[in-house]
């Protein structure tokens, strides 16, 4: 899985449309192999981002959980700690 794509579900504050679109952009970049598409492929690239954004939004809206929402700042702090431990050599 692409390391730049972060979990979006069950966080407080909730995910924004910009977060969903950024994840879709990262996914399309990873799958296509293009950081920025050529003019010829730009329409297909943008259409894919729009479709994945819509599908992701539908998915997130339909999911249900009984677990309490995670705090973004606390999860980010945990990730920084794991990274520091992993790369502290």
Cβ atoms of 62 and 40 closer than 8 Å: no
**Average per-residue pLDDT in the chain?**
90
Cβ 11 vs Cβ 69: under 8 Å = yes
Query: Could you tell me if 20 and 50 are in contact, meaning their C-beta atoms sit under 8 angstroms apart?
Result: no
Calculate mean pLDDT across residues 49-78.
93
Q: Helices (H), strands (E): how many in the chain?
A: 3, 2
Mean pLDDT of 52-66: 95
Does residue 79 surpass a pLDDT of 80?
yes
H or E stretch covering 70:
strand 70-71
For residue 35 the two structure tokens come to 């950081």
For residue 1, the model assigns a pLDDT of: 46
Check residue 42 and give its pLDDT: 96
């Amino acid at each position: 899985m692409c390391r730049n794509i972060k979990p979006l579900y069950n966080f407080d504050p909730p995910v924004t449309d910009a977060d969903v679109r950024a994840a879709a952009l990262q996914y399309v970049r990873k799958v296509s192999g293009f950081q920025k598409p050529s003019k010829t492929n730009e329409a297909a690239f943008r259409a894919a981002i729009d479709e994945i954004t819509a599908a992701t939004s539908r998915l997130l809206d339909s999911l249900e959980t009984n677990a309490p929402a995670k705090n973004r700042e606390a999860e980010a702090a945990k990730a920084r700690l794991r990274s520091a431990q992993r790369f502290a050599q």
